[in-house]
Every structure is written in structure tokens, then in C-alpha cells.
């Protein structure tokens, strides 16, 4: 099975709580689609949207309930690395604090962003803060 398809299906399973019985059943369903699929769970309607993999990429992330581990909360933009999963690779971004939240402007498109996940900000190994993806 194509690696992009596996990643998309893992995102759907994680976000929607799907339980898949077998990889053959998944492969059969995916083969019937003409596009490589990605799945996004809409928080309001619980719809699963099917479309090209590229549509899953995001260059901006809105974060709420931001907490900082700095002497004082930053008042202006901050260059740092951001992680959205424990085992994921950190990516470079600019974090713009906004009230009790922040906007993360990613240098490159990032895949697999989902509401409810944590976005954690680092300067090298130093933890700067983080928040919940909206």
C-alpha cells in the first residue's frame, strides 16, 4: 500500500476512532478511488472529506490555551521549532502570540495537523511553551 495512503488512513483512525479490521479491506476501498486520498474530520459535522493528499498540508496553525515557560510571555513573533506529535520531527516556524493563543506560520507545508493535538515550541532542546491546536 502506498505510504501516503497509509499515513492518511492512520490520521483518520486516530482522529475519528475508526477500527479497521484488515489492511486488505482498506486496500480494496482505496483502489476504487481515482485520487490519493486524505481524510479530514470536520469538528462541526463529523464529515470525512476525500480528496488529493496535497490538500492535507497546512502552512498556518491556530493554537489556543498557550502556556509559556519563559521569564515573560512573548509580545512579538518568535522563531522556533514546533512539534505536533511526540515522535514527529520538529519543523521551523514563526510563532505569533495572540491573546491566550498563537498563530504558527510554518516555513514549509506540514501534514497531519488536527484540532485537539498539542503544538509544542522549542529552541533547540529548550522547551519554550505550547498550546492546543484549534
Domain positions in the chain are 3-55, 57-133
What pLDDT band is residue 85 in, cutting at 50, 70 and 90?
Answer: confident
What's the pLDDT at 31? 57
Cα 52 from Cα 35, distance rounded (Å): 6
| Tens-digit pLDDT profile for residues 21-74 | 566 666 666 655 434 444 444 445 556 666 777 777 899 999 999 999 987 778
What's the pLDDT at 40? 42
At residue 12, the 3 state secondary structure works out as helix
Which secondary structure element, helix H or strand E, spans residue 16, and what is its range?
A: helix 3-16
DSSP 8-state class, residue 112:
-
Which carries the bigger pLDDT value, residue 102 or residue 12? 102
Which carries the bigger pLDDT value, residue 103 or residue 23? 103
What's the pLDDT at 28? 62
Cα dihedral value 35, 49, 16, 3, nearest 10:
20
User: What is 24-60 written as a DSSP string?
Assistant: HHHHHHHHT-SSPP-EEE-TTT-PEEE--GGGG-EEE
Question: Span 57-133: which CATH code?
Answer: 2.40.30.10
Amino acid at each position: 500500500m502506498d505510504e501516503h495512503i497509509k499515513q492518511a488512513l492512520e490520521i483518520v483512525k486516530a482522529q475519528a476512532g475508526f477500527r479497521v479490521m484488515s489492511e486488505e479491506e482498506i486496500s480494496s476501498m482505496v483502489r476504487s478511488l481515482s485520487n490519493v486520498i486524505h481524510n479530514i474530520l470536520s469538528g462541526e459535522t463529523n464529515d470525512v472529506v476525500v480528496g488529493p493528499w496535497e490538500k492535507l498540508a497546512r502552512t498556518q496553525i491556530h493554537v489556543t490555551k498557550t502556556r509559556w515557560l519563559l521569564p515573560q510571555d512573548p509580545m512579538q513573533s518568535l522563531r522556533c521549532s514546533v512539534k505536533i506529535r511526540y515522535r514527529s520531527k520538529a519543523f521551523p516556524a514563526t510563532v505569533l502570540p495572540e491573546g491566550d493563543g498563537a498563530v504558527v506560520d510554518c516555513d514549509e507545508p506540514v501534514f497531519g495537523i488536527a484540532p485537539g493535538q498539542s503544538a509544542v515550541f522549542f529552541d533547540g532542546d529548550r522547551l519554550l511553551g505550547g498550546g492546543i491546536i484549534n
